[in-house]
A and B are shown apart, each in its own frame.
Chain A
Amino acid sequence: MYELLHDLLGDSLLVYVIGAALPLLFVLPFAVVAVLLEMKVSAHMQDRVAYMYTGWHGVLQPVADILKLLQKEDTVPAAADKFLFRLAPFLVFMGGYAGFAALPFSSAYIGSNIDLGVFYILAVSSLAVIGLMMSGWASNNKWSLFGAMRSVAQIISYEIPSALSILVAVMIVGSLNLQEVSKFQEGGIQNWIVFGGPMPLLQKLLLLPFTITAFFILFLAGIAEVNRTPFDLPEAESELVQGYNTEYSGMKFAIFYLAEFANMFLVSGIVVSLYLGGWTSPFGDVMSGPIWSFFWFVAKGMFFVFLQVWIRWTLPRLRVDQLMYTSWKVLTPFLFVCIFAVGLILVL
């Protein structure tokens, strides 16, 4: 992609500016689609039909929502710390959005082809933690602060399992760059890391149980890091009103939502590129190429976004003690077993 832009525009900074703008052009339409998906899927799961009047079957409702939010009064509580209150939504959004730079959208495009790839995503998502904490503290509201503290405790507890489950795939590939990880899995569905990767048959079969476990845990920890049901304690509306964004209104509130949807896709993107072949076609060389690879990446990503919505309407919310139990006493020990086993299989 950058080569193409270089050919078109010559050696100027504009190349990087355009290349860097592409993820934003993806996130915004994605958020609109995701709002609609969330609305429609949840409605149909409960035998409702959701909005039907704005456009065909209500497809224009997200656009109407955005226009409505633009006309809302932007309030800042008198007791809040004004500066931090305004800064917090930006940080939360940046934590998710900056991660998109290291997602390989297609065999020809990755926002920023850095060696550290997925490690960079882990680091930059810590910005969101700081932002959440800031939003809760600056609001000077009990619900906000409780929600923020819970949210931060939850995200940092689940960061260990997610980092360790990413590690299992990294051990197999030997690279942190998600573009390389995707390339490693080329050649069809049997080469995806969740099925043991492109290894000799015996090694593959030995790896299989551990890669599937790690894949499952990564998705689970990902949902927890995005604070979605069944891990949505930070905004448990029956006890904490709206959690950390109780005091926010208008566009600032919308930015928190945009961040949530961006994070949903980021988590799906990481799972897909590490374990499900990224942009590679499941049929080997059939239907591959830069455009098809973009299609595969987005299709796989959207499937996991759909799965997150589905889970939301299927499972009840966990209690805080169950949450901590799952992270520290179940997922973390399991992953250490996975790491040892994968290491042993690869060394022998």
Chain B
Amino acid sequence: MLESYLPIFFMIAGGIAFGVVMLKLNEFFGPRRPTEEKFSTYESGMEPVRTARERFSVKFYMVAVLFILFDIEVVFLYPWAVSFRELGYQGFVTMFVFIVILLIGLYYVWRKGALEWD
């Protein structure tokens, strides 16, 4: 079992090695002429104003929360879909109830306007 995951580890190692080699080649061939201007933050040619790490809108947080909740639903759906044929009618009803309860949640979110991006 672990063997079938082995190629993945080698693939990741190979990918990292490839990236490192390319970056080293770049370091070798590329010039190195640092100036203060060059290493300042790019802000369309203006002097950088404050830091970029400002506070962010709560909208992003909303999207992330909804994503987690539906992601967990998806995690439950996958084992169901794989053994769906064997579970038959009963399995279908089970999942129907589960999804309907979550669709009530989606409807609530929709009505509350949390899906609007304004």
Contact = CB atoms under 8 A, between A and B. Distances in A.
A246 interface: yes
B14 to A, nearest CB: 5
A157 interface: yes
Given A78-B39, A98-B15, A101-B11, A137 B22 contact: no
Given A111-B8, A160-B67, A160-B74, A167 B25 contact: no
Contacts of B15: 24, 90, 93-94, 97-98
A144 B11 contact: no
A144 to B, nearest CB: 7
A21 B12 CA distance: 10
Identify whether the interface residues of A are mostly helix, strand, loop, or mixed.
helix
Contacts of A33: none
Contacts, number: 202
B30 A71 contact: yes
A153 interface: yes
Q: Which of A21, A70, A167, A328 counts the most chain B CB atoms within 10 A?
A: A328
B41 A141 contact: yes
Contact of A20 (B11, B19, B118): B11
B51 to A, nearest CB: 6
A157 B114 CA distance: 13
A313 interface: no
Contacts of A246: 42
Contacts of A163: 71, 74
A140 B54 CA distance: 10
B64 to A, nearest CB: 7
A328 B33 CA distance: 49
B26 A250 contact: yes
Interface residues of A, number: 79
Interface string A132-157: 00000101111111000100110011
A254 B27 contact: no
A112 B7 contact: yes
A101 B52 CA distance: 37
A119 to B, nearest CB: 6
Contact of B85 (A167, A321, A346): A346
Q: Which of B19, B53, B99, B103 counts the most chain A CB atoms within 10 A?
A: B19
Given A74-B30, A98-B12, A140-B52, A254 B22 contact: yes
B26 A69 contact: yes
B43 A141 contact: yes
A251 B103 CA distance: 46
A119 B56 CA distance: 31
B47 interface: no
A153 B117 CA distance: 11
Interface string B22-56: 11011101111100101111111000100111101
Interface string A89-115: 110011001101100000000011110
A16 interface: yes
A250 B70 CA distance: 39
